[in-house]
Amino acid sequence: MILQVKELSKSYGKKLAVNKISFSVEEGQIFALLGPNGAGKTTTLKCILGLRKEDSGKIYLGGTYAYLPEKKELYKYLTVEKMIEITQNISKMFRKEKAVELINDFKISLKEKIANLSHGMLTQVYISLVFAEDVDIYFLDEPTWGLDPLMRSKVIELVRKMSLEGKTIVYTSHILPEVEKVADVVAIMNHGKILELDFLDNLKEKYVACVVGKNENVEGYLFKETEKENVYITLKEKAIGKIEPVTFENIFEAIVRTDKRTANL
Ligand SMILES: Nc1ncnc2c1ncn2[C@@H]1O[C@H](COP(=O)(O)OP(=O)(O)OP(=O)(O)O)[C@@H](O)[C@H]1O
């Protein structure tokens, strides 16, 4: 195990941003932390990286790491080339040739000023700088935010390649089809809690939708209501009535929309 988080909590004043969450990540795994805005994903990453001090809980991080923050900001008045040079001077693990190769792959000129890059291009430069670090674990906070579909695929391809090389990836995202393409394990967060944590394949396997009459009660997440029927998303063994398959998106939506306590799972 390369990362273990145990009972981590963090508040900002009265706001409980992360509420006793636990998970662990194995070497070489791609671990996706999912959840709607404000779920507590960034705070979790920041506590792991020591950028925020947790209120309670234990964190074990057993390797070198690099971090792609949610706010992708680089020094505006430098060129991409200068940015690479500076990064090389401050980081022992940085491989200049790798950064240049990745930036060339994204078809961005090394002579370009950071200020002239579009949001997507800036993200690509930042991702290249992060992946050029020869570390054990990469923490990526919304690495594909603001990228067009082609570029998103490219980044996801990179994530997969790094994982094949034995690197560990922990990343946050809102984009479920993309997560589905690449993640080994997913943790679904809402209101500071992890509501579901499993291998993606297990998760898709263990839930089904069941359609029951209005007066029937199912232990599960109420997903849809029609005049005559209710549709629940529930664990296979708890399902009654007419059973239908569900997509990962359905499962995510149901878990995030319904409070776990009312779901009785
Ligand atoms: N510096 C801060 N001061 C006060 N409250 C904060 C601060 N940072 C985050 N929060 C609050 O903590 C909660 C969790 O925020 P966090 O940024 O961790 O969520 P997130 O899941 O990363 O959201 P998003 O997907 O929108 O980036 C939110 O309610 C947010 O408003």
* pLDDT digit string, tens, across residues 210-235: 999 988 888 999 888 889 999 999 99
Is 174 found in the same domain as 216? no
Is 186 found in the same domain as 148? yes
Strand spans (E) along 73-156:
137-141
Alpha-carbon distance of 201 to 196, in angstroms, equals 13
Token pair recorded at residue 28: 């070489």
Choosing from 200, 220, 250, the residue where a domain stops is 200
Inform me whether the pLDDT recorded for 259 exceeds 70.
Answer: no
Choosing from 164, 183, 200, the residue where a domain stops is 200
Q: Give the distance (Å) from ligand 1 centre to CA of residue 38.
A: 5
pLDDT at 264: 59
Residue type, 8: L
Would you say 264 and 232 are in contact if contact means Cβ atoms under 8 Å apart? Answer: no
Q: Which residues pair with 79 in a beta bridge?
A: 113
Q: Name the residue at shortest CA distance from atom 29 of ligand 1.
A: 38
Q: Which residues pair with 102 in a beta bridge?
A: none
| Residue range of the domain that includes 253 | 203-263
Q: How many domains does the chain have?
A: 2
Alpha-carbon distance of 176 to 173, in angstroms, equals 7
Would you say 11 and 55 are in contact if contact means Cβ atoms under 8 Å apart? Answer: yes
* Burial (Cβ within 10 Å: 0-12, 13-18, ≥19) of residue 257: middle
Angle of CA points 25, 55, 254, to nearest 5°: 55
pLDDT at 182: 93
Pocket of ligand 1 (CB under 6 A): 12, 15, 17, 35, 37-43, 70
Q: Give the distance (Å) from ligand 1 centre to CA of residue 118.
A: 25
Query: pLDDT of 166-183, one tens digit each?
Result: 999 999 988 898 899 999
Ligand 1 nearest-atom number relative to CA 43: 18
Is 109 found in the same domain as 92? yes
Query: pLDDT of 44-64, one tens digit each?
Result: 999 999 999 999 999 999 999
